[in-house]
Amino acid sequence: MLHFRRIVRAAAAGIVLTAIGCSGQSAQSEPSAADPQIAAALRQVSTQRIQTNIEKLVGFGTRLTLSAQDPASIAAGHGIGAAREWIKAEFERYSKDCGGCLEVKTDSFTEEPTERIPKATEITNVYAVLKGTDAANAKRIVLVTGHYDSRNSDTLDVNGDAPGANDDGSGTAVSLECARVLSKIKFAATIVFLTVAGEEQGLNGSRHFAKMAKDQGWDLEAALNNDIVGGDKSAEQDHSVVRVFSEGVPTAATEQDLRRIRGLGGESDSGSREVARYVAEVGRVYDAGVKPMLVFRLDRYLRGGDHFAFNQQGFAAVRFTEFREDFHHQHQNVRTENGIEYGDSLKFVDFDYVARVARLNAATLASLAAAPAPPANVHLLTKDLENDSTLTWEASPGGLATEYELVWRATTSPDWEHVHNVGNATRTTMKLSKDNVIFAVRAVDRAGHRSLPVVPVPER
C-alpha cells in the first residue's frame, strides 16, 4: 500500500528520498543538501566580531529611543544617535569590502507623542540592502531584523544606563553579522539587513518600516526578528536551542480568510508558520550549532516584538529568542539587591551562542534568497466528491524553478512529513484523500534550493 518515506530524518541524514504513489507515479527527490557556498559563509560568522559589536553597542551608555541624538552627543559617543551613526558606518564598511554591494539606507520619521513618547521624537531605522542579482527575482525580498534601542527599569529614563547587551544588542549583532558574511555572496533575490529603533516604546520603528514595505508593495517573503538571542548565562539555560515563535491564524486575516481557515483546519498554516518550518528544515540541513525549537504562538506571555508589526501588515514574520530568559536581566537598572544582579549587562551574554543563532539566520536568509519564488495560485480541486487529490499551480515566477515538490502531513502533525517530486509539472493527482492531510507545493531549482511551500486554496 501507500508507503512514503518521511522527509525529516531522511533529509537530515542526507538520504535520497523516494516517494512512491499507488497510481504508479513514482519519483525521486534529491535531499535538501547543504549548498557549499552557504556552508562556507556560515563558517565566516565570527564570535569575536559579534562580541566586539555588542560591546560597542553597550558602550553608548543608553540607546533609549528618547535619548540624545544631537551632534555633540553623537561626537561624544553617547545615546541612540551615536548608536545609529555607528551602525550605519558599520554597514558602509561591509559594503566597501564587497565593492559597494550594499546600499545603506535610513528610514527616519517623527513619532508624535504617545504614552511612552512624551514629546515628538525622531526615530531612525538603519538598513542595508543586498540587491538580488537575478533581474526577474531581485524584487523578491527576505529580511532579518533586530532592535538597537534599549531601556532600563524606566521606559522614560533618558540619561540612566541601559546597556541592552542581550535586549537587543544580540539581535542587532545578528543583523550586522549576517550582512557582513552574506554580502560576499550573490543571491537571486534581495536580502535586507535591518536594525530598528522604538521597539521598547511600542514597536514604533518596525511599524513604520513594515507599513512602508506594504505601501511600496514589497514582495517580502519572510522577516526574521531576532530579539533576546544572547543565551543568558543562567544555570537553567539550554544553549543548544533557540525558540522560533510564529503566529498561527494570521493577524491580518480577512473575514474570508478566517472562514476558510475554520472550514479547512488551516490554523497552523499561516505564512509565518511556513517560515518557521522552513527554519526548522534549514536547521536540519546546515549545522548552525543551535537547533530551532518551534513555538506555535505569536510570542511569549505578556510580551511582544517587531515581527508582530510585519504580521499586522500581512507579512510572514517570526521571532527568534533564547530558550530561557532571565527577567532580572531585562528592562532593569543595573544594580545588585539582596545578592541578585539586575540589568542587561555584557557579562550575561554568551557571544558564541549569538554567533550560532546568526548562523541559523544567515542559512535561512541565504536559502530563501537563492531559491526560486514559491509557485503561484496553488489550487486544490474540490469540484467533485472523490478520494483522489488534484492540485494545480502556476509556474514559479522568475524562471529559476526546474521542478516542484508536493509536501504533506497528517492534520495533527506539526511539520511536513512527506515529499513527492512531481518534476517540471504544474498539476498532479495523488491517490490520497485531501480530507485527511494538509498539502503544499514548493518550487525547487537545479541546485536543490527549495522555495517556501504554498498551501493550496480550494477551487470549485
Closer of 269 and 325 to Zn ion (Cβ): 325
**Selection from 2, 1, 8 nearest residue 413 by Cα:** 8
Q: Say if CB 117 and CB 201 are below 8 A apart.
A: yes
For residue 442, give the C-alpha cell: 514548493
Cβ of residue 404: shortest distance to Zn ion, in angstroms? 39
Q: Does 322 bind Zn ion (CB under 5 A)?
A: no
Closer of 168 and 299 to Zn ion (Cβ): 168
Which among 66-74, 226-234, 288-296, 355-363 is the span making contact with Zn ion, rule CB under 5 A? Answer: 226-234
Cβ of residue 100: shortest distance to Zn ion, in angstroms? 32
Q: Output b/e per residue, 273-299; b: 16+ Cβ within 10 A.
A: bbbbbbbbbbbbbbebbbbbbbbeebb
Cβ of residue 203: shortest distance to Zn ion, in angstroms? 10
Closer of 132 and 146 to Zn ion (Cβ): 146
Within 10 A of 145 (CB to CB), how many other CB atoms are there?
Answer: 33
How far apart are the C-alpha atoms of 145 and 143, rounded to whole Å?
Answer: 7
Binding to Zn ion (CB under 5 A) within 251-310 occurs at: none
Cβ of residue 228: shortest distance to Zn ion, in angstroms? 6
Q: Say if CB 169 and CB 150 are below 8 A apart.
A: yes
β-partners of residue 408 are 418, 439
Cβ of residue 114: shortest distance to Zn ion, in angstroms? 18
Cβ of residue 409: shortest distance to Zn ion, in angstroms? 33
Closer of 149 and 281 to Zn ion (Cβ): 149
Closer of 167 and 322 to Zn ion (Cβ): 167
Within 10 A of 436 (CB to CB), how many other CB atoms are there?
Answer: 11
Kind and range of the H or E run holding 394: strand 389-394
Q: Say if CB 391 and CB 441 are below 8 A apart.
A: yes
With CB under 5 A, what is the number of residues at the site for Zn ion? 3
Cβ of residue 444: shortest distance to Zn ion, in angstroms? 36
Closer of 205 and 398 to Zn ion (Cβ): 205
How far apart are the C-alpha atoms of 441 and 437, rounded to whole Å?
Answer: 13
How far apart are the C-alpha atoms of 30 and 43, rounded to whole Å?
Answer: 24
How far apart are the C-alpha atoms of 95 and 258, rounded to whole Å?
Answer: 44
Among 177, 221, 227, 344, binds Zn ion (CB under 5 A): 227
Closer of 227 and 247 to Zn ion (Cβ): 227
Closer of 160 and 414 to Zn ion (Cβ): 160
Cβ of residue 368: shortest distance to Zn ion, in angstroms? 24
How far apart are the C-alpha atoms of 66 and 118, rounded to whole Å?
Answer: 9
Binding to Zn ion (CB under 5 A) within 130-189 occurs at: 167-168
Binding footprint of Zn ion on the chain (CB under 5 A): 167-168, 227
